Amino acid sequence: MAKVTKDSLIGEVLAMDTGTARFFMEIGMHCLGCPSAQGESIEEACEVHGTNADELVANINNYLESK
């Protein structure tokens, strides 16, 4: 499975595994279905939401690796 980075688009991450949605939701990114969010990178979204992109990427990659 591909590794997620801060440059990964949210839409691509969700397409890889819909289970990753919970990690975005947990940090307040509730607009995952909106077209803007789909084309936004993790880093861009974290800047807007005031969250740590490195931490989110690590959590998502840990989840993906555990499957």
Supply the pLDDT for residue 56. Answer: 97
| Average pLDDT of the chain to the nearest whole number | 92
Task: Show contacts of 43-49: CB within 8 Å, 24+ apart.
Answer: 43/6, 43/7, 45/10, 46/6
- What average pLDDT score do residues 49-54 get? 95
- What percent of the chain shows pLDDT beyond 90? 73
Domain ranges of the chain: 10-65
DSSP H or E stretch at residue 2 = none
